Structure 1
Amino acid sequence: SVSMLLVRLMLVMAPAVFAINAATKGNVIDALLFATSVAVGITPQMLPVIVTTSLSQGAKDLARRQVIVKELPAIQNLGAMDVLCCDKTGTLTEDRIVLERYLNTDGNEDARVLRHAFLNSFFQTGLKNLIDLAVIDRADVTPSAVVPDSMLGQSLRDRYTKVDEVPFDFSRRRLSVVVADAQGKTQMVTKGAAEEMLEICSFVEIDGIAQPLTDEKLAQIRKQIAGLNAEGLRVIAVAQKTNPRCVGEFGIADECDMVLMGFLAFLDPPKASAAGAVATLEAKGVAVKVLTGDNDRVAATVCEQIGIDASNVLLGSEIDALDDAELAERAEKTHLFAKLSPLQKARLVRVMREMLGHTVGFMGDGINDAAAMRASDCGISVDSAVDIAKESADIILLQKDLGVLERGIIEGRRTYGNLLKYLKTTVSSNFGNVLSVTVASLFLPFLPMSALQLVLLSLVYEIVCIALPWDTVDDAWTARPRAWDAASIKGFMLELGPVSSLFDIVTFAALFFVVCPAAVDASWSELAAAGDVAGMATFAALFQSGWFVESMWSQTLVVHMLRSPHLPSPRDHAAPALCVLTVLGLALVTWLPASPIADALGLMPLPTSFFGLLIGIVTAYIALTQLAKRRYIARHGELL
């Protein structure tokens, strides 16, 4: 967008400058070279360098804050993010799931439920998640009633062998393992989300005896599950079926007519820092939305404890019934989405981006988060995540903490702020210079500056701007999300660029009518009438030298004026590197007209009277720029 803006400006200004100078000066070659140099001058030549340096510096600063950047452009997206979608487990909670209870359907603790859950978790060959590990750990510390002086887990490892399994998937939300004991008895043991498990159970175990699952018992079980969920416990149901089949591979079709044995209740308490981090993100303009595959009641309990609105919950089954427009309307008002599949998470992210216009980040660490991370503007993972999540991420946190992410968001905004400073100040300054050149070309009998001088001036200015990535940024700038806005660059250019042109024209008049005539003891018209070629050459060189120096002073100092809404002061000053390069750049350009290479550059020493004029013009320019800056802020609400 910025490049197209500059190209359009070149296509208008460069031909105009060429036509005016060719017509008024009579030298087509000089006019073409000058117009070309004007086109080059419009371009922020250091834009690729400044962009890369800004992002690289931002990446270094983020690394010091425990945030590793894989894709540099993601830094700007991180600062622009206004919606953060995250999973519940590990992000908002302690990520240390503990098996609190193993209960039968009457609500009593029952070791048989734990024993069957262990067989399922231990013998399944997929990725063992936190729930599997919690079951195995609990069995390994629970005494076995089968073998004295041994643990339950150790006993079961030796007594059973695996026959087959039906892997977990996010639509069934359950996993089955078929095992056989030493006597040849075969069992299919299934565990999974409570609601999905109830769909495949036709029987319930009561006092060790399988009985039909009646509507009355089903209502009692649902009430039991709801009570556990209300305590913030995640409930997993366990069921089994003896001698499911004799031969052949097992599949999903075998998960039927199961006997419900009981439930596992897990606790994953909220992080102590989660509530504060969520409040800070909300204050920074980032809405936190929870997208989880967990039960809605458990997720709602956790959300309420940390300050996320859980009054309006959208379930995965409801999402499938909505088209994108309806989903967008619901998603805007909802902060908790539960019982989601990976594809539903990805769809939610896409809808919030494309239909609601949000810049969406997604923070996850599991296999089921990879698709949503890919669909987001900024995929965020953690160093302990599974490989596919880290591969899908743009940014990796070394600590699984929203507080770390908040610091990364602020750094992303700071990086973008410094990048925008360069673009806006440079484009507006270059636009002002082109306007000045166009006006001067209409009235001056010679070029206001040679092509070489114009390119050299632009080069020195760009080198000074290299230090901008290290500059500080106002707290007000980092207080809210900052999306890329090329249109604001155009407005900034058109409103503040002409201010420099006004003082350039004053400089032209002072040089042409006062400084140069005093230095050569004759006006331009007198030299032209006398045919004094040497005198006219000296007059033109003095004029070009004066504007060369004045332009550098005004163009460079305006960076310090426009980098912040405040006046430069001991409390609000540019970074030391920018201050040093500014002084060196001004000193170099001021010295060049009196240097040994002045002749080669078409420059010559300036009279002392010029420097008094320079101080007056620069002072007035700074004052008017401050007034224009205040007017711009009053109209647009902010400077950058």
Structure 2
Amino acid sequence: MPKTKLIQHIKNITIKGNRNAGDAPRDRGGKSAVARCGELGSALEHAARAEKHDLLASLGSSTDGITSAEATRRLEQNGHNSPSERRRLPLALRLAASFVSPFTLILAALAAVSLYTNVILAAPGDEDPSTCVIIAVMVAISGVLRFVQEDRGLAAAESLRKLVTTTCCVVRAGEPEREVPFSELVIGDVVRLAAGDLVPADARVIEAKDLFLNQAALTGESEPVEKTADPCPAAVPSRALTVGDCGNIVFTGTSVVSGSARAVVVATGDDTYVGRVMGACRERPAQTSFDAGVASVSRVLVAFMLVMCPVVFVLNGLTKGDWLSALLFSVSVAVGITPQMLPVIVTTCLARGAREMARHEVIVKDLAAIQNLGAMDVLCCDKTGTLTEDRVILERHINVEGRPDDRVLRHAYLVSHFQTGLRNLIDEAIIGRYESIAEKDRGLAGVASRYRRVDEVPFDFERRRMSVVIEDERGKSQMVTKGAVREVLAACSYVELAEGVRPLDGGLRTRLLARAEDLGARGMRTIAVAQKTNPRPVGAFGPEDERDMVFMGYLAFLDPPKQSAAEAIERLTKAGVSVRVVTGDAEGVAACVCRTVGIRVEGVLLGPEVDALDDAALAARAEETQLFARLSPLQKARVVRALRAAGHVVGFMGDGINDAAAMRAADVGVSVDTAVDVAKESAQVILTRKDLSVLVRGVREGRRTYANTIKYIKATASSNFGNVLSVLVASAFLPFLPMSALQLLLLGLAYTVACAALPWDNVEEAFLASPRTWDARSIVRFMLWMGPLSSVFDIVTYAAMFFVVAPTAAGGPWGALGPATAAAFVAVFHTGWFVESMWTQTLVLFALRGERVLASEGRPARTLAAVAVLGVAALTALPWTPGASEALGLAPLPAAFWPLLATCAAGYLLLVGLVKRLYLRRFDSLL
């Protein structure tokens, strides 16, 4: 039967109205439709609920599988068993995408206008393409830097993929069992599974013996999950099945821990659960905090240009009468207003941050993720492996009174040592703990050598216990049993107390169960140990001999919290990042781990409760909840979206298939190099060590990157705003332009080059102490407060240059000069304002780059200071540089200018310092 018909046939059998969860529509109340139709999809739902024979018939298969000819036909018709991979864009498209950002688009528009006015409209011989060339260089530097850094991040991420050739054992009708590649499986194939196998496709178990799977990558639960061939019990009509409900479905990518099974394939490729999650991850990601911030800043810059440039154009045209010169000058003002170096500064800051993070075990795939890390105020993370060691340790071995007892551990050790079945993590933990104690206590050492195994009663999932019969050197024999507390207790008639062995009555039985429940409430998995002396079986030992035993005590196991987790969470909390645990694991275990590492657990929100809430209610509950447990992958993503809707910048850290959709929904997704491929594909940041302390450094680097970017934006935007105000005043009162278009462009370029070292600047610790987001309103506010300050001293400079300095150099006041001396007057005036502007712009950058610029932590980096000094010196020397002075229309300045420059610079710094104190008192933060 063709795959499309198979799927349609299964859909027709399922509850009417079910739809695939991959579409994720919303109902009128804002609740995800996934909550109604189920995240598994109708095909898997039917496979889980159907009787074995009905399912095989609907798939056109049998317990012996399908024929090879039929498998070939289905493979040709329906394709291979591999989810569609996200194709990497061609090199040319990736390079082009690196040049597309709001900042570069603004500069490109200015370059186009400049090309039209300065080249196309210019008279023959007067063409001046310098503006276009300079802007093109800025855009090229920015784009190439972004392309190189992001391509390195992608290449590093792809190198983390494990290239493994995988095959599975397939049963084909009329043929011997054989190994085939995963990709060649089709619906209806029957596969044989054994311990250690990876599950090759979503399949329904049709035969099973003691089958346990590790599906932590799907659910986050570290404990193996039992799978049987029984149909799922009828679920509540209003609730669809989840991964945890499907005790008879084995999912792609999980692994067999123990046991064996036969299973019939019911979904392959994109139709598997993993394929559906990967499909959801390919959807267009939501706009992140960085994207929104860049867009808002870009709108402010465009609005500023659209308001100021026409005013400059009209005012100069009316006062000077030369409309073409006025147009050229207004275009230069537009270029000067725009922080031309902005794309380069942003990209350089991000690239430097990425390099620093790579030194600290963090690979950045997307440069924007660095600033999103710095802006993050909520971090959602899973439990296993992030907060815990992702391993089982024996936390306690206690007797029935609750006191540590090495006899309990010794008996459990003998069972784990002498049993012949596959040792699981519990056995390894018991043996490891006993041997570590035996190294310090000679009385416990070598205990196994004093016994021999007589027989054993293997574990099975009905009894949920196992026993070994041992005999010592004197011929004394014992049956020792360990297993689930209730099942071991059911085999006991006695209990071992401090005063001796007593019959096990109802009151004692209740006490023993209560102690086990108390240990479970603390997040520990608890098993029991019992024994009896000199058992006498009839023939071989069997389950019927597990009776009249003596209950000895408990073993309590824990996936221990990482030693670094509590400190990392404390550091994140102090840095303004709230850590929320979002896990598919049980709430009791997760709550215990949270309390251990210092996460407040006052309210717990479970998966079914998430489904019952609309978006508004979920956002309200998520705001006050620290622990989300028993969540499916799509429920995790919905929680992330709810937190973002409440105004948070959210990061999500995970490594499983069940985390991929949530990472995609977050502002920044964080994964690790050992994660499954779909998780690494969804993440923007990959840690080479799964540890929150690594992420703490990433958060600090993100804030450092933002700090050095915003320094440039605010200082430059406010300085440029002041320059435009100065130009407006000069245009109204001066009989000539205050500066030529080329001089204005060169001034802006020199200043921005001096800012090129800002990415390496120091940042005050106070700024790194809290999340930082882009805020266009704060930029406008900063411009309005700080920009006019420079205009005050520009106007003083205008007056002094027009009435004192320029007349001194030209030999008389403006009105008394001829054409030749008037040109000298204008050249000296232009040069004076040119030099004064460069000095004051650079000095104010140092004054506004932090709140405590004189403190040790606020001092500028040596690189920044050196570049700035060289830039100022170079522009100050231009009027005396042969060739350059003539080309730029500059002239040497008389001695009277230098006292004026010193007075203006000192007065400007004093005024900026005063206004900065008022600004901080009013708004609390400078940047």
Normalising to structure 2: TM-score of the pair? 0.55
2:283 is aligned with 1:8: no
Give 1:631's aligned residue.
918
Partners in 1 of 2:756 and 2:455 — Cα distance?
66
227-236 or 64-73: bigger deviation: 227-236
Q: Is the 8 A contact 1:139 1:152 kept in 2?
A: no
**Which of the residues 324, 327, 330 maps onto 2:621?**
330
**One-letter identity of the residue aligned with 2:712:** Y
Deviation (angstroms), 1:42: 0.6
The superposition leaves residues 523-561 of structure 1 with CA deviations (integer Å, 9 ceiling, x where unpaired) of 11122xxxx111111111110011010010011111000
Give 2:776's aligned residue.
486
Deviation (angstroms), 1:140: 10
The superposition leaves residues 255-292 of structure 1 with CA deviations (integer Å, 9 ceiling, x where unpaired) of xxxxxxxx996421112222222111111111111112
Q: Output aligned runs, 1:75-90, within 5 Å.
A: 75-90=370-385
Deviation (angstroms), 1:139: 11
**Which of the residues 598, 601, 612 maps onto 2:888?**
601
The structure-2 alpha-carbon separation of the partners of 1:318 and 1:540, relative to structure 1 and needing over 3 Å to count, comes to: same
Partners in 1 of 2:762 and 2:420 — Cα distance?
56
Give 1:401's aligned residue.
691
Deviation (angstroms), 1:308: 1.2
**Which of the residues 680, 704, 714 maps onto 1:414?**
704
Normalising to structure 1: TM-score of the pair? 0.78
Give 2:751's aligned residue.
461
Q: Is the 8 A contact 1:380 1:397 kept in 2?
A: yes
Q: Output aligned runs, 1:211-222, within 5 Å.
A: none
Secondary structure, in 3 states, of the residue corresponding to 2:380? strand
Q: Is the 8 A contact 2:763 2:858 kept in 1?
A: no
Give 2:76's aligned residue.
none
Total equivalences in the alignment? 550
Give 2:497's aligned residue.
none
**Which of the residues 734, 744, 747 maps onto 1:444?**
734
The superposition leaves residues 230-258 of structure 1 with CA deviations (integer Å, 9 ceiling, x where unpaired) of 34314799xxxxxxxxxxxxxxxxxxxxx
Deviation (angstroms), 1:570: 5.9
The structure-2 alpha-carbon separation of the partners of 1:24 and 1:133, relative to structure 1 and needing over 3 Å to count, comes to: farther
Deviation (angstroms), 1:226: 2.8
Unaligned runs of 5+ in 1: 103-107, 123-131, 161-173, 175-193, 209-215, 238-262
Q: Is the 8 A contact 1:99 1:134 kept in 2?
A: no
Q: Output aligned runs, 1:493-504, within 5 Å.
A: 493-504=783-794
2:320 is aligned with 1:17: no
Give 2:593's aligned residue.
302
**One-letter identity of the residue aligned with 1:602:** G
Partners in 1 of 2:320 and 2:830 — Cα distance?
16
Give 1:276's aligned residue.
567
Unaligned runs of 5+ in 2: 1-295, 398-407, 435-446, 462-483, 493-506, 529-553
Give 2:224's aligned residue.
none
Q: Is the 8 A contact 2:522 2:588 kept in 1?
A: no
**Which of the residues 900, 905, 910 maps onto 1:613?**
900
Give 2:672's aligned residue.
382
Give 2:362's aligned residue.
67
Secondary structure, in 3 states, of the residue corresponding to 2:896? helix
Partners in 2 of 1:65 and 1:305 — Cα distance?
27
Q: Output aligned runs, 1:226-375, within 5 Å.
A: 226-234=517-525, 266-354=557-645, 356-375=646-665
Q: Output aligned runs, 1:94-173, within 5 Å.
A: 94-98=389-393, 134=425
The structure-2 alpha-carbon separation of the partners of 1:273 and 1:326, relative to structure 1 and needing over 3 Å to count, comes to: same
Partners in 1 of 2:488 and 2:866 — Cα distance?
79
Give 2:831's aligned residue.
545
Partners in 2 of 1:571 and 1:416 — Cα distance?
17
The superposition leaves residues 412-445 of structure 1 with CA deviations (integer Å, 9 ceiling, x where unpaired) of 1111000000000011111111111111000000
**One-letter identity of the residue aligned with 2:374:** G
Secondary structure, in 3 states, of the residue corresponding to 1:349? helix
**Which of the residues 843, 852, 858 maps onto 1:557?**
843
**One-letter identity of the residue aligned with 1:417:** A
The superposition leaves residues 344-367 of structure 1 with CA deviations (integer Å, 9 ceiling, x where unpaired) of 21111110011x111111111222
Partners in 2 of 1:328 and 1:458 — Cα distance?
46
**One-letter identity of the residue aligned with 2:643:** M
2:342 is aligned with 1:42: no
Give 2:292's aligned residue.
none
Give 1:622's aligned residue.
909
Secondary structure, in 3 states, of the residue corresponding to 2:858? coil
The superposition leaves residues 80-112 of structure 1 with CA deviations (integer Å, 9 ceiling, x where unpaired) of 11111111111111222247799xxxxx9999x
Give 2:803's aligned residue.
513
2:871 is aligned with 1:585: yes
The superposition leaves residues 161-211 of structure 1 with CA deviations (integer Å, 9 ceiling, x where unpaired) of xxxxxxxxxxxxx9xxxxxxxxxxxxxxxxxxx9xxx9xxxx999559xxx
364-373 or 600-609: bigger deviation: 364-373
Partners in 1 of 2:784 and 2:513 — Cα distance?
66
**One-letter identity of the residue aligned with 1:544:** H
The superposition leaves residues 23-64 of structure 1 with CA deviations (integer Å, 9 ceiling, x where unpaired) of 211222211111110011011111111111000011111122
Which structure ranks higher in relative contact order (CA pairs < 8 Å, sequence separation ≥ 6)? 1
The superposition leaves residues 572-627 of structure 1 with CA deviations (integer Å, 9 ceiling, x where unpaired) of 32111111111111111111111112011111111011011111111101111111
Secondary structure, in 3 states, of the residue corresponding to 2:830? helix
